[in-house]
Structure 1
Amino acid sequence: MAKPQNSAASQRVRKKVRKNVADGVAHVHASFNNTIITITDRQGNALSWASSGGQGFKGSRK
């Protein structure tokens, strides 16, 4: 017999922690296939990152 599934209400949901950072550094890694941008704090800890391919750009627009 199959075990009953846990409902979504019984599972824990972790809230995203929002950090207030006064200044940061943008690191850009540009290759022939994609461009990746990483935003870090002064110590080099990554705060956010994104790639042009992940944002929907295709082909030569990347």
Structure 2
Amino acid sequence: MKITVDHEKCCASGQCAMLAPDVFEQREEDGLAVVLLAEPDPGLHDAAREAAAYCPTTAILVEE
């Protein structure tokens, strides 16, 4: 799995950081999503998928 965030689409809602805090965080200066683990361990895959599914602007791309 590989995860990326399109910062042009990100609206800084923070859903990803709340749902998958081991995979995402928010930048302090503008709240945009930051990927902490672009290739997370299998144990984090479900959380990463959930974060992508709940992203209000579909800014998170998960490549399987």
Q: Common fold, TM-score beyond 0.5?
A: no
1 or 2, which has the higher helix percentage?
2
TM-score with structure 2 setting the length: 0.24
1 or 2, which has the higher strand percentage?
1
State the structure with more CA Rg. Answer: 1
Q: Which is bigger in relative contact order (C-alpha 8 A, separation at least 6)?
A: 2
